[in-house]
């Protein structure tokens, strides 16, 4: 039996399966930014739930999705950086030139992100991961595993320091600076498209620089993804079964219980002061810290799932949809925004004003299925995603 399910091209399915599922989780999480007509609580992320279905949806999202999927994205991004390097050096390209190609790729991702934010989505993460990959690729891509793991440890320690400082500030009676709800920062409730564009670009700049430079959970996840890629953990998950099971069994409970104070406080099930729940308060950093464990756990679970799929001659339709989407993750990410923003934002059709958290999840997954079906059609014809084709061509170009 082969070590992993492979695509007919010979490409391992586990990394693409993980990217496809990750996009379904991200797209579900991001739709909350379009509920602009609802009253928002102290967290600034989710509206105040009106129905039981909305309350259940928000509880699950806060404990299992919020700030858990982005570390998964970072892990897979770091994994992909090493795969990119190996694929180029494997055909004889000098490692330094491959590294320069990755640097150009990161710079173009930032450009893609700025365009994405300006046209559609302020919460663009392409720019932030472009910044992170520039820094981490420059400093660590060609370094030893020991150096990479040491850097990941430092990033985790810095995250713990931020958590500790936020708790100390809370105990001293201090409150973080007021941050507007994400629906305001993302301009989903703005009727004027030009005004919304300016707001989105300001928010994008903060997200890109703040996340790219100070997102220590994402830095740690990206570095660990690089380490995992060097050991080919996603390509041969059955060879690392004990490690993957351990990561999953530890990471999921840590993520769940780390998000529990925010979930219970937001839903009013426990009495928690607003200054504990607000962005950059203790709950936020607890979410960020526990989210790192959650993201790594999800990567482990998806790798174990891929190992199970290796026992089948042909993966089922859900797996093929996820894999096809994961192979075109950049095109898919942009396609989701093309579907969401004009339909949900007030400057478009404004449908976000009429949906709650639970219906919005249904809408998000429906859009994911539609995009995944298109990706499967592309996959059957061995076609790349258009954004991937563009990024690959630009990465090959010589710097000006």
- pLDDT per residue over 336-386, tens digit each? 999 999 999 999 999 999 999 999 999 999 999 999 999 999 999 999 999
CA 133 to CA 370: how far, in whole Å? Answer: 30
* Mean pLDDT, rounded, for 244-272: 95
Q: pLDDT-derived band of residue 5, with 50, 70 and 90 as boundaries?
A: very low
The count of structural domains within the chain is 1
Average pLDDT, stretch 164-186? Answer: 89
Tokens of 334: 């942009």
Q: For residue 1, is it within any domain?
A: no
pLDDT for 30: 86
Q: Which of 9-18, 182-191, 367-376 has the highest mean pLDDT?
A: 367-376
Q: What are phi and psi of 6, to 5 degrees?
A: -125, 155
**Structural domain contains residue 5:** no
pLDDT at 149 over 90: yes
Report d(CA 216, CA 370) in Å as an integer.
Answer: 34
- Pick from 4-8, 175-179, 287-291: least confident: 4-8
Position 3 in a domain:
no
Q: Specify the length of the chain in residues.
A: 400
- For the chain, the average pLDDT equals 91
Rounded average pLDDT over 119-126: 89
- Specify the pLDDT at position 178: 77
| 3-state SS assignment for residue 222 | helix
Query: Considering the chain, what percentage of its residues have pLDDT values greater than 90?
Result: 77
pLDDT-based confidence at residue 3 (cuts at 50, 70, 90) = very low
Structure tokens at 110: 């930032």
Instruction: Please measure the distance between the N-terminal and C-terminal CA atoms of the chain and give it in whole angstroms.
Output: 48
What mean pLDDT do residues 203-208 have?
Answer: 93
Instruction: State pLDDT tens for residues 209-250.
Output: 999 999 999 999 999 999 999 999 998 898 999 999 999 999
- pLDDT level of residue 123 (50, 70, 90 thresholds): confident
How far apart, in whole angstroms, are the C-alpha atoms of residue 271 and residue 175? 17
Rg of the chain over CA atoms, in angstroms?
A: 20
- The answer to whether position 7 is within a domain reads no
pLDDT value at residue 397: 55
* Domain assignment of residue 342, given as a range: 13-396
In a domain? residue 57: yes
Structure tokens given for 203: 């928010």
pLDDT of 26-47, one tens digit each?
999 888 889 999 888 888 889 9
* pLDDT tops 80 at residue 259: yes
Residue 9: pLDDT above 70? no
pLDDT of the residue at 11: 64
Residues 6+ apart with CB under 8 A from 298: 18, 21, 22, 25, 68, 69, 72, 251
Q: Measured between alpha carbons, how far is residue 92 from residues 96, 138, 226 in Å?
A: 12, 21, 21
Which has the closest alpha carbon to 280: 167, 186, 131, 154? 167
Tell whether the model's pLDDT for residue 7 goes beyond 70: no
Can you tell me the mean pLDDT for 52-79?
95
**Cβ atoms 140, 201 nearer than 8 A:** no
pLDDT computed for residue 176 by the predictor = 85
Using CA atoms, how far residue 263 sits from 53, 65, 78, 357, in Å, is 15, 11, 30, 14
Share of the chain above pLDDT 70, in %: 96
What per-residue confidence (pLDDT) applies to 2? 38
If one compares 72 and 174, the residue with the highest pLDDT of the two is: 72
pLDDT score, position 10: 54
Q: What pLDDT score was predicted for residue 31?
A: 84
Given pLDDT bands bounded at 50, 70 and 90, which one contains residue 122? Answer: confident
């Amino acid at each position: 039996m082969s070590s992993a399910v492979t695509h007919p091209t010979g490409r391992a399915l586990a990394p693409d399966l993980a990217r496809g599922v990750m996009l379904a989780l991200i797209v579900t999480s991001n739709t909350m930014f379009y509920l602009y007509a609802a009253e928002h609580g102290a967290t600034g992320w989710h509206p105040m739930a009106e129905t039981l279905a909305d309350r259940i949806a928000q509880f699950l999202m806060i404990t299992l999705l919020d700030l858990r999927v982005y570390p998964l994205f970072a892990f897979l991004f770091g994994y992909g950086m090493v795969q990119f390097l190996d694929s180029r050096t494997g055909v004889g390209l000098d490692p330094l030139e491959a590294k320069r190609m990755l640097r150009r790729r990161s710079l173009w991702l930032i450009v893609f992100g700025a365009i994405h934010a300006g046209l559609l989505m302020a919460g663009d993460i392409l720019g932030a991961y472009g910044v992170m990959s520039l820094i981490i690729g420059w400093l660590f891509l060609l370094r030893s595993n020991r150096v990479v793991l040491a850097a990941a440890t430092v990033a985790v320690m810095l995250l713990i320091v931020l958590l500790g400082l936020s708790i100390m500030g809370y105990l001293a009676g201090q409150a973080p600076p007021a941050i507007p709800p994400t629906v305001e920062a993302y301009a989903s409730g703005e009727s004027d498209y030009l005004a919304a564009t300016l707001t989105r670009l300001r928010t994008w700049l903060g997200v890109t620089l703040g996340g790219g430079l100070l997102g220590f959970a994402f830095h740690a996840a990206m570095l660990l993804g690089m380490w995992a890629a060097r050991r080919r953990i996603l390509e041969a998950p059955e060879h690392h079964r004990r490690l993957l099971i351990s990561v999953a069994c530890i990471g999921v409970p840590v993520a769940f219980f780390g998000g529990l104070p925010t979930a219970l406080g937001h839903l009013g099930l426990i009495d928690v002061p607003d200054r504990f729940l607000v962005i950059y308060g203790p709950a936020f950093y607890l979410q960020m810290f526990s989210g790192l464990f959650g993201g790594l756990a999800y990567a482990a679970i998806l790798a174990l799932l891929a190992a199970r799929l290796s026992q089948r001659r042909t993966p089922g339709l859900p797996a093929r949809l996820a894999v096809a989407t994961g192979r075109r993750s950049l095109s898919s990410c942009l396609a989701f925004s093309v579907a969401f923003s004009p339909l949900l934002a007030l400057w478009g059709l404004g449908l976000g004003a009429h949906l709650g958290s639970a219906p919005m999840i249904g809408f998000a997954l429906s859009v994911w299925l539609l995009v995944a079906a298109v990706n499967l059609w592309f996959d059957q014809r061995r076609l790349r995603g258009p954004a991937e084709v563009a990024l690959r061509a630009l990465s090959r170009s010589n710097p000006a």
